[in-house]
Structure 1
Amino acid sequence: MSIVNSSILQHPIQLQFIGRAGREFVQTSLRNRGFVSHTASINTSGLKGNHITSTDVNLTAFNWSQNEINVGDMYSMSCKLIASNDANADHLHFDSATSLDVTSVYPVGENLIRGAVDRVSLTALGTIVGKEIVPGDADHPSGCTITLKSVDIDPITKSPVVWFTKHHICPMPSLESAARMWQEGAIVHISGVVVGYDSVSFMWISSVNCISVVGPGDANGVQRVRRSRRQIRQGAVIAANDGIWQQMIRAYASRNMARIGMRNGARHMGSGRDAARKRLYRRNSIM
């Protein structure tokens, strides 16, 4: 995790955590800022579903008197992920408004704990910074893993931070155009399930259910769309970032409305003069 310029657009990750709350994680720096954390873990079975592991996390909240949780209880909560990409446990920031004590509904038992494996859903917005083809085998088709860079404001330090996660797409799309879109620099929105943790690169791994490209990763944003003057005059839809064409339309409309106004005004003036002549003619005829 590193601190970045505060002007960078936020690309957050949200987790729907489900798991058991552990003991309080005592840290003076957290207490001084009004935060309290409890240890917890996310249980996953890996990309192939054959190796269950447990990865430590911290359930962290501000104003603990309103967000207190009970040690040993099972919780489902919507959390903001702030990852570190190092050996320290990542923070899942939650609020009581989006958390549920599952123990109040179901008694905690081994079946419930085992049922929480691979149940942490994820939504992420970020920039692709890496892509790796994953070969298949007899039981699993080939796919690819993309590395995503995310940016968000750390609630503890109030500073923007950046970190990286991995997201596995399987099988590979059959359309070549779809695969080409997932190139480095593309900004994507991902929905999936957390299935593992890379203990070497300290990155979370998700299995992707849905991925959408929301924009290129360059500074210019969405590419400009050019249109001909004829299309503009025919009322073609103009993209929001086509400033040149919009100015042309405004100028074109202003000139033509001015001409129309002049013609209408002249017509009205002419009609007025004709009526005056007719009235004068009738008056002279009567006299």
Structure 2
Amino acid sequence: MEKSIKKITEKLYNWIRSNNGIQQSDNVIKVLALLKLITLIDRNRNEDEIKFIQNFIRNNNPIDYRSESLFNCILANSLILDFGSIGQIEAPLEYSSILYEIKDANPNSVNGVLLNCVFEDDNDKNEISSLNFKIPMFELDIIKMINDVLTQIEMKSKFGTCEVEYNPVFNSKIEGMAIHAMRLYDLELVMRSLRALNYLECKESLAIQTGLDFILHQQCTDGSFGDFETAFSEVKNEANGEITILQIKLETAIQVLWTLYELTKDKNNLISRIFNSHKHFNQIKT
């Protein structure tokens, strides 16, 4: 599996480097986030790859964080802290400080939980959270129901950074959600479902094993993930069609690497690794 993931990251990296459209300004945060995940999964970067990352940061500095998801912004920010020059990390450090200051502003929101997970101390991770699933008996919008359940798991488990007590009878329901998402070819929902099972420590789940195989078979020959060209064949005739597909592929790749990292790295939870492993993190917290 480790060799397979290494090949996946190599192909993704080559896709980023060879596609000029990926390196346009509208995609900067996503590209930086994806590069951060690649460096987390495969830390053996050669000099040429490091130079590419540094040049990409330099050519797109300063970064506009306003139009992207918080998760992608945190990843992108962390990459700049890792590879940016002294002058380039000043703004990311300030951004990190702002996030740290507002982390308790809305603790019951998904972003609030995410920020607390990123910035919490290791000794705060021994708590056990109780999860009482709220799954409606009759729900016409199945996708909404699945998203609501996954959000419950993400928030209660703090994205896998704390243990959750729950009735294991629900494992089969969550596995069913993952399989349903695969049938719909909703890749983002597949990834969230697999991570949710992992947060509940269903390591031996058949859905996780099936899901891993499913993920590995979604990589295209160019290194990207997902066969969206067919679904967007009509959109591609419009001016922004190619950009739309590219943005979806970048986001899908981020979700894939996030999921692979957590499913194959045993106890290495991605959220808790983003800043805690970085030398600048203690400066932010103090």
Higher-helix-fraction structure: 2
TM-score if structure 1 supplies the norm length?
A: 0.21
Where relative contact order (Cα < 8 A, 6+ residues apart) is larger, the structure is 2
Pair member with larger Rg: 1
Give the structure with the higher percent strand. Answer: 1
| Superposition TM-score, scaled by structure 2 size | 0.21
